[in-house]
Amino acid sequence: MATEFRLPELGENIAAGDVLKVLVSVGDTVSRDQAVLELETEKATIEVPAPVSGTVKSIHVKEGEKLKVGGLILTIEEGAGKKAEKKAEGAHEAPKAKEPVAPLPKAEKIQARQDVKEKAPEARVAPPVPPPPAAMTATPPAPRAKDEPLGPRVAAPATPSVRRLARELGVEIDEVTGSGPGGRISEEDVKAYVKAMMTRPAAAQPGAAPAVLPLPDFSRWGEIERQPMRSVRRKTAEHLSHAWATIPHVTHHDKADITELEQLRKQHEARVEAAGGKLAMSAIAVKVVAAALKVFPQFATSVDLVREEIIYKKYAHIGVAVDTDRGLLVPVIRDADKKSILELSVELARLAERARNRKTTLEEMEGGVFTVSNLGGIGGTHFSPIVNSPEVAILGISRGRIEPIFINGLFQPRLMLPLSLSYDHRMIDGADAARFLRWVVKAFEQPSSLSLEE
């Protein structure tokens, strides 16, 4: 298969460059990541790496030519190059399954990165495609403070000119691994980092690297206002970027006929309110999910890639997403399986209020094995929630709607509740997900099996 290699995004402030040197000829075998072009931008000369392995079929640039981002450089006939990388392991699935961005999950790779960091390497090794530090479940993230110096401040060891270069290229100097003694960061290290960034497929990698691509100066087009990112927003951004980047997501949608459940709910509403709760779908969902986890224990697991083990959690603490003025918080209801729907309603109302009033403790926010996210109160037909890593599944609930359902030869108006189950396909297969959700649907459709007090 012939691949057209076009110049990838280099950073917002670099739209083009001059071709300094073409490093390959027609007929050459190239490996993925091998430098094929030297490009001179305003401030630095950058090596442009090949995106795939194969044979150079044709070269579309000449030395001295100006090359814009998106411009055609080479046509490569893909084939077994020296390091023919196989495409994504789990690439069979639904559109949501992302190609693993960086070949993270192997223990050896993690080991290799640790080695690079720990000693000053003898040869100048360009750092491996830098995976997001938090992705490694076993290794603690790289100790680089960003804007806030955490404890003793040790700034990145880079000379002023190197720091300037990093700014010009839109690179966060603290993210660069230095190859010099004492971790000193050289100009080459910064350029190698840029090069490594370019080996990823194009710009749309939201979770892959901690925000390295520079933003344009938006004030060029109109008035702007900058506000500092508050801690909840920052944590949410980091957490979800990581979850999105490391978990191959699939979302399975289904609908539950809650016509009868809704009637029952209305009947008992008052009683629950008297007890200080709100008999809402969320509380019922928590109960149902807690029960489902007993039947499908693989949904209450976490994946330990370092030890290559699956951790089964024998408890049912369920997190419930709460929308607050500070952002999204997920307080956790402990032992939801041991609580009645009445108790869950009361606890949920209390937790939600505490979350909104900034009163939740750290303990109340951790320890969950599964998360429920209910947007039905606001609206929507379905959505694909992001798995609350390191959990493996999350149940999203959208707004119930009266729909015509074909029952016994007639169309009947039934209240249908959309359910969306996103799951980690490394752990959970499609069939399991379908069964789990079907079970949940059935539980919703047989409200007599649900008791208020048990």
Partner 1 sequence: MSEKPNSTQLAVVGAGPGGYAAAFLAADLRMQVTLIDAEANPGGVCLYYGCIPSKALLHVAQVLNEARHAAHWGVEFSEPKIDLAKLRAWGQSVVRKLTGGLGQLSKQRAVHYIQGRASLVDHRTLRVQKAGGGEETLAFDHIILATGSRPATLPHFPSHSPRVLDSTAALQLNHVPKTMLVVGGGYIGLELGTVYAALGTEVSVVEMMPGLLPGVDRDLVSPLAKRMAAICRSILLNTKVAAVKEEKDGLRVKFEGAEAPAEEQVYETVLVSVGRKPNSNIPGLDNTKVEIDSRGFIKVDLQRRTNEPTIFAIGDVAGEPMLAHKASHEGRVAVEAIAGHKVAFEPQAIPAVVFTDPEIAWCGLTETQAEKEGCPIKVARFPWGASGRATTLDRSDGVTKLILDPDTERVLGVGIAGPGAGELIAEGVLAVEMAATATDLKLTIHPHPTLSETLMESAEVFFGQSTHLYRPKKIPR
> Nearest Cα to 15, choosing from 33, 36, 39, 34?
39
Query: Structure tokens of 306?
Result: 């370092």
How far is residue 22's CA from residue 5's CA, in Å, rounded to a whole number? 14
Residue 343 phi/psi, 5-degree rounding, is -65, -40
Q: Which is nearer to partner 1, 144 or 442 (CB)?
A: 144
The residue from 60, 117, 163, 235 that contacts partner 1 (CB under 8 A) is 163
Give the CA angle between residues 3, 9, 13 to the nearest 5°: 160
Residues numbered 210 to 229 that lie near partner 1 (CB under 8 A) are 214, 217, 219, 224
* Cα of 11 vs its chain's centroid, Å: 22
User: Do residues 420 and 398 touch, judged by C-beta distance below 8 A?
Assistant: yes
- Residues annotated as part of the active site: 425
User: Do residues 53 and 30 touch, judged by C-beta distance below 8 A?
Assistant: yes
Query: Structure tokens of 375?
Result: 């947007």
Q: Which is nearer to partner 1, 128 or 214 (CB)?
A: 214
Residues numbered 1 to 40 that lie near partner 1 (CB under 8 A) are 13
Q: Is 331 in the site for partner 1 (CB under 8 A)?
A: no
How far is residue 230's CA from residue 269's CA, in Å, rounded to a whole number? 37
User: How many other CB atoms sit within 10 Å of the CB of residue 163?
Assistant: 16
Q: Which is nearer to partner 1, 95 or 152 (CB)?
A: 152
Label each residue of 50-79 as H, E or C: CCCCEEEEEECCCCCCEEECCCEEEEEEEC
Q: Which is nearer to partner 1, 105 or 210 (CB)?
A: 210
Q: Is 65 in the site for partner 1 (CB under 8 A)?
A: no
The tokens 């752990």 sit on which residue? 427
Nearest-approach distance from CB 196 to partner 1, in angstroms: 20
Q: Alpha helix (H) ranges present in 13-102?
A: none
* Helix (H/G/I), strand (E/B), else coil: 239: helix
Q: Is 117 in the site for partner 1 (CB under 8 A)?
A: no
Beta strands in 297-363 (DSSP E): 301-304, 309-312, 318-320, 322-324, 327-329, 332-333
Query: Structure tokens of 312?
Result: 């089964």
Q: Alpha helix (H) ranges present in 326-398?
A: 341-356
Residues numbered 166 to 185 that lie near partner 1 (CB under 8 A) are 167-168, 170, 181-184
Residues numbered 119 to 158 that lie near partner 1 (CB under 8 A) are 151-155, 157-158
Positive or negative torsion for Cα 169, 175, 181, 184: positive
Q: Which is nearer to partner 1, 149 or 206 (CB)?
A: 149
Q: Is 71 in the site for partner 1 (CB under 8 A)?
A: no
Q: Is 409 in the site for partner 1 (CB under 8 A)?
A: no
Query: Structure tokens of 173?
Result: 């100097």
User: How many other CB atoms sit within 10 Å of the CB of residue 91?
Assistant: 12
How far is residue 347's CA from residue 277's CA, in Å, rounded to a whole number? 7
Residues numbered 184 to 203 that lie near partner 1 (CB under 8 A) are 184
Q: Which is nearer to partner 1, 57 or 163 (CB)?
A: 163
How far is residue 355's CA from residue 349's CA, in Å, rounded to a whole number? 10
Q: Which is nearer to partner 1, 108 or 223 (CB)?
A: 223
Q: How many residues form the binding site for partner 1 (CB under 8 A)?
A: 23
User: Do residues 407 and 392 touch, judged by C-beta distance below 8 A?
Assistant: no
User: How many other CB atoms sit within 10 Å of the CB of residue 295?
Assistant: 12
Q: Which is nearer to partner 1, 192 or 369 (CB)?
A: 192
Q: Identify residue 212 by its one-letter amino acid code.
A: V
Beta-carbon contacts of 401 under 8 Å, excluding residues fewer than 6 positions away, are 381, 415, 416, 418
Q: Which is nearer to partner 1, 162 or 375 (CB)?
A: 162
Contact footprint for partner 1 (CB under 8 A): 13, 151-155, 157-160, 163-164, 167-168, 170, 181-184, 214, 217, 219, 224
